[in-house]
């Protein structure tokens, strides 16, 4: 499993940006990662990227771009010193999810940390949902109304972080499970794997058999298995409440997961 070495954090200068930046910085501190702060300017022009650091940039620029550069520079200077020396900023131009995908590839990012404002409408996925579906690397997201105290402590001495991993034993959910187990080697995660059975004969015994086929010997002891029946979404939300989960690791039916 690839080690996390570079984190991409898109920011829009809203309140949720503060939350996702705080989480990205915590991870960068814990993993000694490089951090890329990205701001996207919606534009009808071709997709592009403009790299920037803390030094002044010269040349004539549109007022919107100048304002974005100024705000991004302020964020860069606010990053704690230990992480700031490994942090750079980037402005992108175009549709947000496409720009994040392209920059994640260009920067060889191992993780994207981004907030979500929820769906644009009942039938319209948010930019974050689109990104989760197509991202070339795992995506960590948090709700824009999540309080700061929900952010988990990530240092080695921290209390274990209750983490829920829903699986249906498809390829993408098993990839997410392996990713969670890999993260547990570095982060203080307390893993609970949840299987929501869709048939009467697919119970705990069947789930244990699937796990034994998919995971190396000894790994099974690193997490707890819970089996529930009912609607998958409802059971996942209910189990999240029961376990007081601070983190949910899930697969997606596409290139990326998490």
The reported pTM is 0.80
pLDDT of 258: 42
Q: What are phi and psi of 255, to 5 degrees?
A: -65, -40
Q: What is the mean pLDDT of residues 182-206?
A: 90
Q: Which DSSP state fits 61? A: -
* DSSP type of residue 111: E
Q: Are 66 and 59 in contact (CB under 8 A)?
A: no
Q: What is the mean pLDDT of residues 92-113?
A: 92
Is 70 exceeded by the pLDDT of residue 55? no
- pLDDT value at residue 157: 63
pLDDT at residue 132 above 60?
yes
* pLDDT above 80 (res 16): no
Band of pLDDT at residue 2, cut at 50, 70 and 90: low
pLDDT at residue number 97: 85
Which of 29-38, 111-120, 161-170 bottoms out in mean pLDDT, i.e. has the lowest? 111-120
**Percent above pLDDT 90 for the chain:** 52
Q: What is the mean pLDDT of the chain?
A: 83
Per-residue pLDDT, averaged over 215-241, amounts to: 93
3-state DSSP assignment of residue 6: strand
pLDDT band at 84 (very low <50, low <70, confident <90, very high): very high
pLDDT at position 22: 87
The proportion of the chain whose per-residue pLDDT surpasses 70, expressed as a percent, equals 80
Q: How far is CA 64 from CA 57, 60, 144, in A?
A: 15, 12, 24
pLDDT band at residue 57 using 50, 70 and 90 as cut-offs? very low
Classify residue 118 as exposed, middle or buried by CB count within 10 Å of its CB (0-12, 13-18, 19+): exposed
pLDDT at 45: 47
pLDDT at 257 over 50: no
**Any residues with CB less than 8 A from the CB of 36 and at least 6 apart, and which?**
6, 7, 8, 9, 87, 88, 89, 90, 103, 107, 109
pLDDT at 219 over 50: yes
pLDDT score for 255? 45
Weakest mean pLDDT among 18-22, 104-108, 243-247 = 18-22
Q: What is the mean pLDDT of residues 59-77?
A: 82
Stretch 44-65: mean pLDDT: 54
DSSP per position, 200-240: TT-SHHHHHHHHHHHS-TTGGGGEEEEEEES-HHHHHHHHH
Which pLDDT value is given to residue 158?
72
Residue 50, pLDDT score: 58
């Amino acid at each position: 499993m690839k080690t996390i070495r570079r984190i991409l954090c898109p920011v829009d200068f809203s309140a949720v940006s503060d939350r996702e930046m705080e989480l990205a910085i915590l991870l960068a501190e814990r993993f000694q990662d490089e951090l890329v702060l990205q701001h996207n300017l919606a534009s009808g022009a071709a997709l592009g990227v403009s790299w920037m650091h803390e030094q002044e940039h010269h040349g004539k620029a549109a007022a919107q771009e100048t304002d974005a550069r100024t705000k991004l520079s302020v964020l860069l200077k606010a990053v704690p010193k230990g992480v700031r020396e490994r942090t750079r900023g980037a402005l992108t131009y175009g549709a947000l999810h496409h720009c994040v995908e392209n920059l994640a590839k260009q920067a060889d990012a191992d993780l994207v940390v981004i907030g979500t404002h929820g769906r644009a409408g009942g039938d319209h996925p948010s930019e974050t949902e689109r990104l989760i579906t197509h991202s070339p690397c795992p995506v960590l997201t948090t709700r824009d109304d999540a309080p700061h105290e929900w952010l988990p402590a990530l240092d080695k001495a921290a209390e274990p972080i209750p983490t829920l991993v829903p699986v249906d034993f498809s390829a993408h959910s098993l990839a997410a499970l392996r990713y969670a187990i890999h993260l547990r080697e570095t982060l203080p995660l307390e893993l609970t794997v949840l299987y929501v059975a869709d048939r009467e004969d697919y119970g705990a015994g069947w789930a244990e058999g699937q796990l034994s086929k998919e995971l190396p010997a000894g790994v099974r002891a690193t997490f707890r298995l819970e089996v529930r029946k009912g609607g998958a979404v409802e059971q996942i939300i209910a189990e999240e409440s029961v376990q007081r989960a601070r983190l949910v690791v899930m697969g997606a039916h596409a290139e990326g997961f998490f």
